[in-house]
Amino acid sequence: MTPEKNKPAAPSLEITLCGIKMRSPLITASGAFGYAFEAGRVADFDFHSVGAVCLKSVTAQPREGNRPPRVAETPAGMLNSVGLQNPGADYVVKMYLGMLKNFDTKFIASVAGFSVDEFALAAEKMAAHPSISAVEINMSCPNVNGGRHFASDAAEAAKVIRAVKARCKKPVFAKLAPTPDGIREIARACIDAGVNALTVGNTFVGMAIDVKARRPILGNNFGGLSGPAIRPLAVYNVHLVYQVASKAKVPVIGCGGVATAADAAEIMLAGAAAVQVGTALFANLHVSADICAGLKRYLAEQNEKNISAIVGTLKLN
């Protein structure tokens, strides 16, 4: 045999998430990648580096969002208070989703609402498009009034999932609020309601103050904190939910502060089957390719053939 034939196969990053075949476990987080066509305008962006793109959240009706300023940089991340600005589900379906056929990856719709019916209606409209492989229910946005109501009450969370499942024939993911208190109860309620996967979690509520003006920097006063500062909290939340979800064989999607291959591996060891990358994209739009390359090196070092082999293999002291 030639040396080439004796060479072992490179580790694989391919996964299957709720029946969706993805070339890697990396998913761009909702709100960090727009509606995909914007990044598609960057000539050298490699859609092959992500297993899926989670689109910006949409609501059944258009929303103007919060007043500016909407973003504030922090020493280890950023605060955002966009407030779910979007042109509404009908507009997104008509004007944006048709362009997704030009990009070779999977797409997940993110929907939000302020009532059970609003969630279900937005999900139904988005899921009907052939470019959409799954729907993520953003029930935990921290910077709109009542934004976390559905993610902090198990009964209300279950109502949303049941309503969406009744009108959406594609896999449904629930995006949970990232707080250890009660997160397992919410996860159980969503699982019992038929959710297909759990995204853990969203940004943490935070505030930045202009000390000279003695006023909040954000126009909405507070916003969602993301970036490296929250990664240890995200890892802990992922592990808490994994303890519940693994028994029901429901996959967990982890996110929070992922910027390197080591960050992604840490989230997966804690129990995540897939990993979302968000804030890091603002600093480097191509960070997903770097993370994929690093994950392959990590798997080779660990003598693992497939990325799924590391999921939930954390060994507690």
pLDDT of residue 201: 87
Q: Measuring CA to CA, which residue among 110, 119, 78 is closest to residue 203?
A: 78
pLDDT in tens, the chain (317 residues): 555 566 678 899 999 999 999 999 999 999 999 999 988 777 678 898 899 999 999 999 999 999 999 999 999 999 999 999 999 999 999 999 999 999 999 999 999 999 999 999 999 999 999 999 999 999 988 767 655 578 889 999 999 999 999 999 999 999 998 888 899 999 999 999 999 999 998 999 999 999 999 999 999 999 999 999 999 999 999 999 999 999 999 999 999 999 999 999 999 999 999 999 999 999 999 999 999 999 999 999 999 999 999 999 999 99
Looking at residue 172, its pLDDT comes to 98
**For the chain, what is the domain count?**
1
Tell me, yes or no, whether 277 lies in a domain: yes
Residue 190 placed within a domain: yes
Q: What is the pLDDT of residues 117-156, one digit of tens each?
A: 999 999 999 999 999 999 999 998 876 765 557 888 999 9
Which sequence positions are flagged as catalytic? 141
Residue 315 falls inside a structural domain: no
| CATH label of the domain that carries residue 42 | 3.20.20.70
Encode the chain in three state secondary structure. CCHHHHCCCCCECCEEECCEEECCCEEECCCCCCCCHHHHCCCCCCHHHCCEEECCCECCCCECCCCCCCEEEECCEEEECCCCCECCHHHHHHHCHHHHHHCCCEEEEEECCCCHHHHHHHHHHHHCCCCCCEEEEECCCCCCCCCCHHHCCHHHHHHHHHHHHHHCCCCEEEEECCCHHHHHHHHHHHHHCCCCEEEECCCEEECCEECCCCEECCCCCCEEEECHHHHHHHHHHHHHHHHHHHHHCCCEEEECCCCCHHHHHHHHHCCCCEEEECCHHHHCCCHHHHHHHHHHHHHHHCCCCEHHHHCCCCCCC
- The answer to whether residue 72 sits within a structural domain is no
Residue 317 in any domain: the answer is no
Q: Is residue 189 part of a domain?
A: yes
The reply to whether 170 falls in a domain is yes
pLDDT computed for residue 3 by the predictor: 55
Domain that holds residue 121: 3-65+83-206+225-310
Residue 23 confidence (pLDDT): 97
Q: Is residue 70 a part of any domain in this protein?
A: no
**What confidence score (pLDDT) does residue 84 get?**
93
pLDDT of residue 203: 92
pLDDT in tens, 251-263: 999 999 999 999 9
